[in-house]
Amino acid sequence: MRVHHLNCGTFTSALMGRLVCHVLACETDTGIVLVDSGFGLADVADPTHRVGRYAKLTGARFRESETAVRRLETLGLDPSDVTHIVATHLDFDHIGGVADFPNATLHTTAAEHAASEGRSTFRERVRYRPAQLSPAPAVRTYSGPGESVLGFSGTHPIDELGGRIVLVPMPGHTRGHAAVAVDTGNRGWLLHAGDAFYHRSTVAAPGQVPPGTEGRALRVMEELIAVDRSKIRDNHRRLRELNNQAAPRVRVFSAHDPTLFDELAGERG
Ligand SMILES: [Zn+2]
């Protein structure tokens, strides 16, 4: 499986530095599968309507050239070949691009879909933006006991994708947040952890990567916007173990860490 790492959105702020929106484009036998989708064309055209006035506080930069549809075109790929989008969660900076792929089915956990439909708290009304999923895409949701993959119980391998792309429920950041594991074949496993952590220091071996000012600021923000702080701390521990285990080798990265993005994007796919 060939996997492209795309940055489909940029945030800049004095405190947290540069952040990216790390999107995977996986070339599979059943078409192109995206993991997350970043910001889309309609977000760039009208950010206030689509993502709301709070998006400005995040330092989001809206650039058409960074949207997944334009990134794929730049790679010489046909956006109409995108058949599936697997979402880590449904926050506005992860699903803005869904509308640009009308042929695609959106895969998410049932818990996340319900949270985004319900928008029952102030925080959820800020993070979930109905305009981005209107008109509604085809959606498939996942719940129940699931299977064991990479030491995680309760995961959901996606059948149409031959089980090589797996939703790994990891609530905490949002109610139905999930990581997405991708079995690339000869290049091993990738684990897109979405917003289950922000800064690379969180999953590095102890003492290996100092958090610095940006890492500490991100840790504070992470706790502020999480729906369950004790769960995100538990997720950090599990992700750190996975990232540092000898075998099987799993490359763990978050949606927004720019250094992990640059490392992976710089490798030959
Ligand atoms: Zn995010």
Q: How confident is the model at residue 268 (pLDDT cuts 50, 70, 90)?
A: low
Mean pLDDT of 220-246: 94
Report the separation in Å between the CA atom of 26 and the middle of ligand 1, taken as the mean of its atom positions.
20
Token digits for 6?
Answer: 């795309």
Report the separation in Å between the CA atom of 266 and the middle of ligand 1, taken as the mean of its atom positions.
22
Sketch the domain layout of the chain as residue ranges: 2-265
- Global pTM? 0.96
C-alpha 56: how far from its chain's center?
20
Residue 61 has what pLDDT? 92
Report the separation in Å between the CA atom of 5 and the middle of ligand 1, taken as the mean of its atom positions.
16
Render pLDDT for 172-228 as a digit per residue (tens, 0 to 9).
999 999 999 999 998 899 999 999 999 999 999 988 999 999 999 999 999 998 999
Residue 15 has what pLDDT? 86
Q: Please, what's the b/e burial string for 33-43 (b: 16 or more CB within 10 A of its CB; e: otherwise)?
A: bbbbbbbbbbb
- Dihedral sign computed on CA atoms, order 214, 241, 228, 173: positive
Residue 269 above 60 pLDDT? Answer: no
Report the separation in Å between the CA atom of 68 and the middle of ligand 1, taken as the mean of its atom positions.
16
Percent of the chain with pLDDT over 70: 99
**Residue 265 backbone phi and psi in degrees, to 5:** -65, -25
Report the separation in Å between the CA atom of 152 and the middle of ligand 1, taken as the mean of its atom positions.
22
Nearest-angstrom CA–CA distance, 228 and 248: 29
Report the separation in Å between the CA atom of 91 and the middle of ligand 1, taken as the mean of its atom positions.
6
Report the separation in Å between the CA atom of 135 and the middle of ligand 1, taken as the mean of its atom positions.
22
Assign domain 2-265 to its CATH superfamily: Ribonuclease Z/Hydroxyacylglutathione hydrolase-like (3.60.15.10)
Render pLDDT for 56-113 as a digit per residue (tens, 0 to 9).
778 899 999 999 999 999 999 999 999 999 999 999 999 999 999 999 999 999 999 9
